[in-house]
Amino acid sequence: MKLIKVVGFIFQFGLIGLALATVYLVSVSDKDKNEILQFLSSSEDQYTTGPDNKSAVFSYADAVASSAASVVTIYTSKTVTEKPHPLLDDPVFSKFFGDQLKRRQRSRSETNLGSGVVIGSDGYILTNQHVIDSADEILISLPDGRGSQAILIGEDKETDIAILQIPITGLAGIKIANEQSIRVGDVVLAIGNPLNVGQTVTMGIVSATGRNRIGLNTFENFIQTDAAINPGNSGGALINARGELIGINTAIFSQSVGAQGIGFAIPISLALDIMRQIIKFGKVTRGWLGVEGTEITAQAAMATGDPGIKGALVVGVFINSPADMAGIRAGDIVIAVNDKPVDGIRDLLDQITMHKPDEKIKVSIYRGPEQLELMMKVTQRPQ
């Protein structure tokens, strides 16, 4: 009996609550009803994750489709002769056994794998210099199955860029991005042929820009990315989400320290500048002063009277170089070139190389507490 009374009590209050809710909904204005419905609708939109959500990106297939046809595979081979047996340096041993050892010297063929990017319809291909270094034969395989031998137009070891050309017409040139649009956090895609498994696309973001002092090249201005870059990807394309080329994939960070997700690509603006110079002049022209430098030591800074001085400390001068002819000495601190401040030895190197050979420049230095301005004419940087 008690249970029946409790259930009846709950049922009665339930009916009363339902009646009050009905009266409230009838009494609210149309405006209030619309506000309630809009709130409920917006709450549902917050949890929409399907294809109807137009703001989300569910595929980069269009970006890949517009650029993948321009990414090629590069196969190289070269003949390597084994080093002479060290005992051949011994005159007695060489006299009795030299002929036998010389006959046993063998040559072997080394092969290498890399990727490249077609620039324009005239057959020019951008890749890394280390991909084709000392190659006797270079073969190009296109994504559509066609192939051809390539000729080496030119190479620049100091930026790790090489230019190839193939005699095939109707090639699809890749779209070039505006370098100013590259930002840290942008989605990027790496296209190449890693480990010869076939053309492969990996995804990541721009982790950093302007990376240098990595120790890979003389001149470094890398785009850093966490998109997977493996052996065979070198020379391939790093594209943005619109399918535009922003860099040439070059290297991964040393595996000896167990690093992952740290890859480097050469900015396309730098690669295209090297390409234009090689095609037009057959070489890359860079200015050269002829100094060796390092970061400013505390002792050198104190000698100037300004402990916070910025610049590059000269530790050596090449004989008969522009710097030598102008009177620069070891111990001088270079603080500016043409009134542009120098922020370290790397910045000095970059500034000087931007000037063409035979161009006159003004170099501002500190020699102890004395500030001097020297005029000099840069020359072509030796290879």
Question: Active site residue: 70, 234, 321, 364, which one?
Answer: 234
Count other C-beta atoms under 10 Å from residue 338's C-beta: 12
Question: Active site residue: 115, 156, 160, 364, which one?
Answer: 160
Integer Cα distance of 105 and 79 in angstroms: 13
- How do 340-341 and 151-156 pair as beta strands? unpaired
Question: At 340, which helix (H) or strand (E)?
Answer: strand 340-341
Superfamily of domain covering 67-165: Trypsin-like serine proteases (2.40.10.10)
Q: Are 234 and 250 in contact (CB under 8 A)?
A: yes
pTM of the model: 0.74
Residue 234 appears among annotated catalytic residues: yes
The pLDDT value given to residue 81: 73
The pLDDT value given to residue 51: 43
Integer Cα distance of 353 and 216 in angstroms: 18
| Same fold across 67-165 and 179-281 | yes
**Per-residue pLDDT tens digits for 273-297:** 999 999 998 989 889 999 999 999 9
Question: Active site residue: 130, 207, 347, 355, which one?
Answer: 130
Q: Which fold has domain 287-380?
A: Pdz3 Domain (2.30.42)
CATH class of the domain at 179-281: mainly beta
Residue 43 appears among annotated catalytic residues: no
Residue spans of the domains in the chain: they are 67-165, 179-281, 287-380
Residues of the chain with pLDDT under 50: 1, 3, 6-7, 29, 31, 33, 36-37, 39-53
The pLDDT value given to residue 269: 92
The pLDDT value given to residue 221: 86
The pLDDT value given to residue 43: 40
